[in-house]
Structure 1
Amino acid sequence: HTSPVNVHNLVSTFITHTRSLVSELSSGSVKLQDLVILMQKADCTMLLGSSFDFGSIASAFEKFDHGVTLLAINFPSMFMRETTAARSQLIDSLTRYFESGPPEDASQQVKDFVDLAKGAEWTNRDTGSFALGMVWPLLANAPWAVWWLLVYHLHKARGLELLLEEVRRVVNSDRDLLEVVRDSTATPYLDASINETIRIASDSWSVRWVPPSPTPSRLGTFIFRGGDLVMCKMRGVHMDPNVYAHPEVYEPGRFTSGKEGMRGRFFPFGGGFSICEGRHLALSQIRAFLIIFLNEFDVSLVDSQSEVPMFSPRNRGFGMIRPVRDVQVRLTRRKL
C-alpha cells in the first residue's frame, strides 16, 4: 500500500538513483523525452532493484503504452496485435525476473508482493502479469507530468525563473531532500505548478456500473437504470470556463491559495474508493526529480520560436496525456 508513510523507503531509493542518473547526463541538445526515460529507469530500479534493466523493455513498454487504453476498452484484437505482442514481451521479462527472485535491493513492496503471490500459489507468469499492472502506471504518469511541466514553463515569458528560485532556496537550506518532498509547505510554487500541469495535461475517467435496482436512480436531470455504465470525465471539470477562467492557459497561480480553493473543482487522482493509490508516491517523485535535475542543469528550448505541442488523442482516460511530438532542449550543466 502506498500511503504517505509507506512510500518513504521508495522515495529515498528513487532520490538516490535519480541523483546517479542525472550526474551521468551530458550538456548538449537532447529530446525532452530522454528525461522521461531517465525517470522511468529510476522508477524501475526503485521498485524492482538494480538487476532489472529498463533499457531491455523500453521499446516494448512504449508500444504497450501507445495502445493500452484501446486494449482496456476491448478494441478489436485484429487491430491490437502490436500492443498485445508488446504486453507479452513485458510479462515475459517480469516473469523471468520473478523466476530469479527479487534481488536484495528490490523494494520491500515487491518482496511483500512476492510473498503474497507465493501464498496464493500463483505461477511466476501470474505474478509477472499482475506486476505489469503495478509497473505501467508508475512509468506512464509521473514522468510525463515532469515533461509537460518543463514544456509549459519553457514556453512562458519568465521560463523556469520562479522554479529555479525555489529550487535554489531549498538546496541552500541544506535540508535533506526526502524531508523536503514530504513537507507540503517547502515548495509552494513547484506544488502549484504540478497541480496546474495535472489540471491542464491529464485526462482521467472514473467508470461505474449502476447496480440492479427495482427503481431507477436519478442524478439531477439524468436517470440511470441497473446495468447502465456511467463515466465521470474529470477533464470536463478541469477545462470548464465556469470553474477556471481561461482554462486553456497554463497558470500555476491558480493553485497558490492552498487546498481550500481546490475543493470540489480539482480531481487530479480521481476520487472515492478508486482514487489513485500511488498519488503520494507520484507527487514526491515529481518534486524530487525536478529539484535534483534543475539544481544540476540549465534548460532552454533549441527553437525559441516553437509552440507548446498539441495533445495526442491517444492514451486518454488513464492519467497524463501524451504530446503529438517531442521537444528539443539544450542542457547546460551548472557550474558549482
Structure 2
Amino acid sequence: MKLPFLLVFFTLCYTNLTLAGDKPLIRIGLMASGTLGWEIAALQNEGLLADSEFRLETQTLANQQAGKVALQAGSVDIIVSDWIWVSGMRAEGADYTFYPFSSTAGGLIVPANSEIKTLADLKSKKLGIAGGELDKNWLLLQELGQQQGLDLNAGVQKVYAAPPLLNQQLAEQRIDALLTYWQFAARLETQGYRQLLSGEEIIKQLGIKETVPSLGYVFKQSWANQNLSAWQNFLTLADQARNKLCTSDQAWQKIANTFAAGDDINQPLLRERYCQGRVQEWGPANQAAAQQLYRLLHGLAGNKLTAGHPELQAGTFWLGR
C-alpha cells in the first residue's frame, strides 16, 4: 500500500528538481566594493528569489576592467558598467546594451576647514582624481571650469590613483581636494569632509536637467532576447530589493551585517546617497539627456573617451522593459 504513495512522492520531487534545473541561469559579475552586491544580498535575505524564474550565480571581480574582460570572455552574463563603453563596443560590432542601475555620480571633496570654496580656488592646488585622466567626472569638471573661464587641466596639480589610496592621501594632507566615486565621497563626508560639488550637480550646471544614469547593467542583447522572461523577472525583483533597502531599516541592517565593512554601510549618509541614486524614470527625455551628455564628452580630451564616435550607437540603451 505504501509503494504507490512513495512512487508519487519521489516523482513529484524529481519533477520539482527538474523544473528548478530548467530555470535559466543568470551569471552576474560583482565587484567586492560595489553596491550591486548589496542588492544581491537583499534578494537572498528577503526571500525574493524563492519564486523567481531564474537561478542566480555570482562571480567576484577585482574591478570594472576585470568585469569587462569577464563579460567579453563569456564567463558572466551581466556586469555593472557605463553606457559610453557600451556605445564604443557596439561601434566595433558587439551587441552589448545597457539598462540603468544608478544615477549617483561621485563628488568633489575638500577638508571641512579648506580655503577651497569654488572651482577657481583649485588653482595651484593638488587634486586627487579617481578613475584616471578620462574619468567622466574629471572631464565634465574641466568643461564646467572652461565655462567659468578656468583651465583646470593646466591650473591644478593632478594626482591619479585608486579611491582608497586617494582617501588616505587626503587624510594625510598630501592632496588638497579629491574627485572620487560616490561611496568614497560619502564615507569622507561622514568623517567631516565637505562636498563642494556632486557629479549630478556638475551635470546640471552644464545645462543637462534630466537625470542621466552613471552606471547600469551591461549585457548582450542576444542574451536578453533568449532569456527575456527571466531577465525581466530579475529586474523586477532587483527593484523590490533596492526599495526594501531604502524603506526598511531591518533589511538594511541585514546587509550591513553581511559585509565586512558593515560599520561603513551603517553610516546614514551612505544609505541616503545610495537611495538617491535609484533611477525612477528612464524615458525618452532621459535618453535624450544622455545623448546630449555624450556629445559634450565627445568634444573633450581629443575625443579619446568616445573613441572618435560623435554619436551614441543605436541599441546602446536596452528598451525591452
TM range (shorter): under 0.3
Instruction: Find the structure with the greater CA-based Rg.
Output: 2
Q: Looking at secondary structure, tell me which structure has more strand per residue.
A: 2
TM-score, length basis structure 2: 0.24
TM-score by length of 1: 0.23
